[in-house]
């Protein structure tokens, strides 16, 4: 098989890139190791920056988002009995859209099918060859037979556990990582959200987050130990712990119900430099991971896709390779800002097991500065709604 751009990974990054390329007459093939149902079963954050919403619209996948997405014009940070309401419009001309990542992925798959996009599911043994040449290719197994795709470029959209990143030689790659000493225990419940806005709550008992998917589907998280297990948490135990971490006013009106999904996610910050090697380009979780505080995972994957797709269009339409050559530099400049914001929000809102009394005082001073400084709130707002591409 021959294509212009071979895409490894049929998650949000790979699907969005394929859709944008197709809209610009560029042929691609996606190789996905799972089934479509498996990909769509993943529960992930649901706060979309305006840049991602615009990119989905540009890709022809924004209609349902426009209809069903909830525009959020602010968010709330609570610290015991102190609440800091951030109204985005006071600081920046933007807002965010609350719309589940699963729905984004579903919309992308629908558009891919409608556009007769090429994708192979349940592939195995994907291997990248000659990435440093002008004729790279991929070998893989599908339906028990050996396959090969010859292409001009390879997009590594295969997430943190994919093969693309490790195709870059270890003496070329530099990896930066921070593993946080706690996780997030999250549940989905078919209950009305506790508030119109998201509540990021910090308490002496740990962090909690009140989020939502729609008017009758809520998403809640509590910070838990890194080695905690879902089976340690009954629904009642979760609700009881959540109530003592969020503002009392919210706790009193919280509508509880049976969880329809319950899972624990570890928290890590990770960046791989560079994000390209020859004609291999990394996008999204293949190149970087953020802790979920601030919901920058999908949004930062989208900014990578934005840069790569526009660079590929420039190459195929004008023969100009300049943007491709500086893709990694361009993408990383924004990636690191998203990493910083996610690390800052995580450090501000969580209780760390080894926190010294001085560390706690620093956290409290940071919170008090945020509460009293318009400039500090403006910095939070600019990062939360998404820095410009
Ligand atoms: N061959 C083919 N497909 C692969 C391989 C492989 N060797 N390894 C991984 N994949 C697939 C996975 O099954 C997954 O569907 O690549 C896809 C990667 O998707 P994500 O992990 O979702 O990463 P990405 O598309 O970059 O999306 C980033 O989505 O998952 C969230 O937390 C993530 O919010 C972030 C955003
Ligand atoms: C979610 O709704 O799952 C969510 C929202 C905001 C975050 C993280 C997760 O920062």
Residue 243's CATH number: 3.30.9.10
359 shares a domain with 217? yes
377 shares a domain with 250? yes
Residue 332's CATH number: 3.50.50.60
Extended strands (E) in the chain: 5-8, 28-31, 47-49, 70-72, 74-79, 82-87, 96-98, 118-120, 124-129, 137-142, 145-150, 153-156, 174-189, 199-203, 206-214, 217-224, 259-273, 276-277, 280-282, 288-289
Q: Please tell me the distance from the alpha carbon of residue 137 to that of residue 376, in angstroms, as a whole number.
A: 48
Q: Which of 50, 45, 44 is nearest to 381 (CA)?
A: 50
- Tell me, yes or no, if 200 is annotated catalytic: yes
130: left (phi over 0), alpha (psi -120 to 50) or beta: left
Both structure tokens of 20: 């944008």
The structural domain count of the chain equals: 2
- Tell me, yes or no, if 292 is annotated catalytic: yes
Q: What atom in ligand 2 is closest to the CA of residue 296?
A: 10
pTM of the model: 0.97
Out of 292, 309, 316, 327, the active site residue is: 292
- Tell me, yes or no, if 12 is annotated catalytic: no
How far does residue 351's CA lie from ligand 2's centre (Å)? 18
Q: What atom in ligand 2 is closest to the CA of residue 212?
A: 2
Q: Which of 191, 349, 175, 358 is nearest to 272 (CA)?
A: 175
In-domain check, residue 89: no
Could you read off the pLDDT tens digit of each residue along the chain, which spans 389 residues?
999 999 999 999 999 999 999 999 999 999 999 999 999 998 888 899 999 999 999 999 999 999 999 999 999 999 987 899 999 999 999 999 999 999 999 999 999 999 999 999 999 999 999 999 999 999 999 999 999 999 999 999 999 999 999 999 999 999 999 999 999 999 999 999 999 999 999 999 999 999 999 999 999 999 999 999 999 999 999 999 999 999 999 999 999 999 999 999 999 999 999 999 999 999 999 999 999 999 999 999 999 999 999 999 999 999 999 999 999 999 999 999 999 999 999 999 999 999 999 999 999 999 999 999 999 999 999 999 999 99
Residue 106 has a pLDDT of 96
364 shares a domain with 332? no
310 shares a domain with 190? no
Q: Is the CB of 301 inside a 6 Å radius of any atom of ligand 1?
A: yes
Both structure tokens of 262: 């319950």
241 shares a domain with 141? no
Q: Please tell me the distance from the alpha carbon of residue 304 to that of residue 299, in angstroms, as a whole number.
A: 9
114 shares a domain with 11? yes
Structural domain containing residue 372: 180-267+352-385
In-domain check, residue 79: no
Q: Is the CB of 12 inside a 6 Å radius of any atom of ligand 1?
A: yes
Q: Is the CB of 31 inside a 6 Å radius of any atom of ligand 1?
A: yes
203 shares a domain with 151? no
Residue 43 has a pLDDT of 81
In-domain check, residue 198: yes
234 shares a domain with 128? no
Q: Which of 280, 330, 21 is nearest to 162 (CA)?
A: 280
In-domain check, residue 162: yes
321 shares a domain with 294? yes
In-domain check, residue 37: yes
Residue 42 has a pLDDT of 86
359 shares a domain with 327? no
In-domain check, residue 17: yes
In-domain check, residue 28: yes
147 shares a domain with 65? yes
Pairing of strands 288-289, 259-273: antiparallel
Q: Is the CB of 213 inside a 6 Å radius of any atom of ligand 2?
A: no
Both structure tokens of 62: 């924004």
**Which position has the token pair 């840069």?**
307
Which residues partner with 6 through β-bridges? 29, 154
318 shares a domain with 197? no
Q: Is the CB of 103 inside a 6 Å radius of any atom of ligand 1?
A: no
């Amino acid at each position: 098989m021959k294509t212009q751009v071979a895409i490894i990974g049929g998650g949000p990054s790979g699907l969005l890139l394929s859709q944008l390329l197709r809209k610009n007459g560029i042929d691609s093939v996606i190789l996905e190791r799972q089934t479509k149902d498996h990909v769509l079963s993943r529960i992930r954050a649901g706060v979309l920056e305006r840049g991602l919403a615009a990119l989905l619209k540009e890709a022809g996948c924004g209609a349902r988002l426009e209809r069903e997405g909830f525009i959020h014009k602010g968010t709330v940070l609570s610290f015991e009995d102190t609440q800091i309401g951030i109204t985005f419009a006071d600081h920046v001309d933007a807002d965010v859209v609350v719309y589940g990542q699963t729905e984004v992925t579903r919309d992308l798959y629908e558009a891919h099918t409608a556009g007769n996009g090429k994708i192979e599911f349940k592939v195995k043994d994907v291997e990248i060859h000659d990435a440093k040449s002008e004729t790279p290719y991929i070998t893989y197994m599908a339906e028990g037979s050996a396959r090969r795709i010859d292409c001009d470029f390879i997009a590594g959209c295969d997430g943190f556990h994919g093969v693309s990143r490790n195709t870059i030689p270890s003496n070329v790659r530099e990896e930066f990582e921070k593993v946080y000493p706690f996780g997030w225990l999250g549940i989905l419940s078919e209950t009305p959200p506790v508030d119109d806005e998201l509540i990021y709550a910090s308490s002496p008992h740990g962090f909690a987050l009140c989020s939502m998917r729609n008017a009758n589907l809520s998403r809640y998280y509590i910070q838990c130990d890194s080695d905690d297990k879902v089976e340690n948490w009954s629904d009642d135990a979760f609700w009881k712990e959540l109530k003592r971490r969020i503002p009392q006013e919210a706790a009193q009106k919280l509508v509880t119900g049976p969880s329809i999904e319950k899972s624990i996610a570890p928290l890590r910050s990770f960046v791989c430099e560079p994000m390209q090697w020859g004609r291999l380009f990394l996008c999204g979780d293949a190149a970087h991971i953020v802790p979920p505080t601030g919901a920058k995972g999908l949004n930062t994957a989208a900014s990578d896709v934005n840069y790569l797709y526009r660079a590929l269009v420039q190459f195929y339409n004008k023969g100009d390779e300049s943007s491709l050559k500086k893709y990694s530099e361009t993408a990383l400049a924004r990636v690191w800002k998203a990493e910083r914001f996610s690390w800052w929000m995580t450090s501000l809102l969580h209780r760390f097991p080894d926190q010294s009394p001085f560390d706690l005082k620093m956290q409290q001073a940071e919170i008090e500065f945020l509460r009293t400084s318009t400039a500090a709130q403006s910095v939070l707002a600019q990062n939360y709604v998404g820095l410009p591409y």
